[in-house]
Amino acid sequence: MKAIILAAGLGTRFKSKKPKVLHEILGKPMLWYVITNVKNGRINDIAVVVGHGAEVVKKRFENEGVKFFHQKNPKGGTAHAVLSAKDFFSSYDGYVLIINGDSPLVSGETIRNMQQFIHMVQTYEGIKLGGVVLTSYLQDPTGYGRIVKEPGTDRILKIVEEKDATPEERAIQEVNGGTYIFYAPILIEALFNIKPSPVTGELYLTDVVKYINDKGYEVRSFMAKEPTEILGVNTRWELSLVENIIKLKLIRYWAERGVTFHFPETIWIEPDVSLEPDVEVYPGVMLKGKTKVKRDSVIGTGSVLKDAVVEEGCEVREYSIVEESSLKSSSIVGPFARIRNNSIIDERAEIGNFVEVKKSNVGKGVKAKHLAYIGDATIGENTNVGAGVVFANYDGKKKYESFVGQNAFIGSNSLIIAPVKIGNWSYVAGGSVVNKDVPDEALAVSRPGLKILERKGRKLLDK
C-alpha cells in the first residue's frame, strides 16, 4: 500500500505566514503526527504533496523518508493536490491511502483497520471495493463534507461539501474524516473526469466517490473508533483543542503504565518523552523533547525538563529547570534550580535553591544548596559548595574550566577563577578569591583583616 498526504493548501483560516502543517502540537509540527500515524499504519511508501511554503515543509521533513510532489496551484483543491502526485501511483495496481495533512488524530491502528476492512470484504464478499472513507458522526457537522449513503447500507453514494449541500444534506451528521483508501487505477480515472466545484472553482477529492460509484465500484464507510479521531485542524482554536486531546492521550498512555499525574490538565508532555512506573508528576510540569524519567522519581510543580535524563529515585523540586542534562539516581535538585548544557548531577548530590549548573560534572554526594553558579566545573565526591559560591568561567573572551577534588569544602561567597584546580580535602575559607591552584589538604584564605573597635558601633548608631 502507498500513501499520499495532502499538505499543500493555503490554510487561509489559520491566518498565518507559516504553512498550516508546520504549526506545532506539543513541540512537533502537525504534519509529523500524520506521517508518524501513517507509518504506524504500516505504510512506508509515502508521498507528501506540498505547495504553499513548499521549501520550508520539505526542509523540515527531508529525513523522514517520504517523497515530495509539488502542487503548482495550492488553491486547486484536494483532487488537484492528488493529481499533482499522479506519477506516484498512476501505474500502480493497488490501493492508495489518502489523508489530509491537517488530520493528526487519525491513528495508525485505524489506518491498519481500514486496510484490513478492504481485505475482509474481498475475502468474504468477493467484491473489490473502489474505496473506503473514514467517517464519524458529529453532533455539529459544520464545515465537514457530508456522507450521502444508500439507505440502510454502509455504501456511500457521494460526499457533499458543505458549500454545495442542500439543507437536507446539511442536516446529515455523518461526516467525511478526510482519510480514504482508493483503488489506484479507478482513482486516477475518476480524478481526470471530475469537474471543478461551481461554487469555489476547486477540484474536490470528495467528488471522486460519486464517479467511482457511477462506474459500478462500491465505496464503503469505515467508522472511526472515537469521533474525535477525524477532527481536522482548520483554525488556531482547533489546533488548541487537538493539542489538548493528543496530550491527554499521552498522559493516559503513561498513567496506564504506572505513572501518577496530579491535575493532568495542567501538565505538558511531548510524544518522545518516556516515563517509568511509580514516577509522580505534579501540576504545571513540562516534559519536553526526549526526556526520560526513571522509577520512583518525583517531578515537582512548575518544573521544566527538556531532553533530560532523570534516573531512579530523584527529586526535582518545585520550579526547577533541567535541560540536556542528567540527574543520576537519588539526586535532588531545586526548588528553583537550573541545570543545563550537558551537566551531570551524580548520585545523591543535592543542588538547591537558586543554583545554576552549566556544563559541569557534579560528583556523588556533592552539596551545593544555595545561590551558586557552577559553570564549566568538575567537582569531586562529597565536596561542599557553600552559599553564593561563583565559578567565574569567563574572562570576557574565553571560557575556562575548574576542577575541585573530593571531600573539599568551598566556603560561602568564594570566587573560583578558572582555569584553576582545587585539591582533595582542601578547605577554601568563606569569601576567598581563588585564582591559583590549591593543593590537596591545604587551607586557602584570602580575606582582608577584620578590625574590631570596642563600643564604636553604638556611638555611630546614637548620632
Q: State yes or no: residue 131 binds ligand UD1 (CB under 6 A).
A: no
Q: State yes or no: residue 174 binds ligand UD1 (CB under 6 A).
A: no
In angstroms, give the least distance from the CB of 307 to ligand UD1.
Answer: 30
Q: State yes or no: residue 276 binds ligand UD1 (CB under 6 A).
A: no
Dist. CA 221–CA 276, nearest whole Å: 39
Contact 331, 312 (CB under 8 A): no
Which range in 61-69, 99-107, 251-259, 320-328 contacts ligand UD1 by CB under 6 A? 99-107
Which of Mg ion, ligand UD1, none binds 131 (CB below 5-8 Å, type-dependent)? none
In angstroms, give the least distance from the CB of 204 to ligand UD1.
Answer: 4
Q: State yes or no: residue 104 binds ligand UD1 (CB under 6 A).
A: no
Residues 48-77 that bind ligand UD1 (CB under 6 A): 49, 51, 71, 74-77
Which range in 48-56, 233-241, 252-260, 413-421 contacts Mg ion by CB under 5 A? 233-241
Q: State yes or no: residue 9 binds Mg ion (CB under 5 A).
A: no
The number of residues making up the chain comes to: 463
Which of ligand UD1, Mg ion, none binds 297 (CB below 5-8 Å, type-dependent)? none
Dist. CA 155–CA 28, nearest whole Å: 37
Determine whether 437 is exposed, middle or buried from the number of CB atoms within 10 Å of its CB (0-12, 13-18, 19+): middle
Nearer to ligand UD1, 17 or 463 (CB): 17
Task: Considering the candidates 23, 80, 262, 370, report the single residue annotated as catalytic.
Answer: 370
Q: State yes or no: residue 414 binds ligand UD1 (CB under 6 A).
A: no
Which of Mg ion, ligand UD1, none binds 9 (CB below 5-8 Å, type-dependent)? ligand UD1
Dist. CA 129–CA 216, nearest whole Å: 10
State the residue for C-alpha cell 576542577: 403
Nearer to ligand UD1, 9 or 29 (CB): 9
Contact 203, 229 (CB under 8 A): no
Q: State yes or no: residue 331 binds ligand UD1 (CB under 6 A).
A: no
Q: State yes or no: residue 8 binds ligand UD1 (CB under 6 A).
A: yes
Which of ligand UD1, Mg ion, none binds 206 (CB below 5-8 Å, type-dependent)? ligand UD1
Q: Which of 23, 32, 47, 100 binds ligand UD1 (CB under 6 A)?
A: 100
Q: Please enumerate in sequence order all residues whose Cβ is within 8 A of that of 338, keeping only pairs 6 or more positions apart, or say none.
A: 320, 321, 322, 355, 356, 357
In angstroms, the Cα distances linking 361 to 341, 346, 366 are 11, 8, 10
Q: State yes or no: residue 232 binds ligand UD1 (CB under 6 A).
A: yes
Q: Assess whether 370 carries a catalytic annotation.
A: yes
Determine whether 337 is exposed, middle or buried from the number of CB atoms within 10 Å of its CB (0-12, 13-18, 19+): buried
Count of residues interacting with ligand UD1 (CB under 6 A): 31
Interaction site with ligand UD1 (CB under 6 A): 6-9, 49, 51, 71, 74-78, 80-81, 100-103, 144-145, 159, 161, 175-178, 204-206, 232, 234
Q: Which residues are catalytic?
A: 370
Interaction site with Mg ion (CB under 5 A): 102, 232, 234
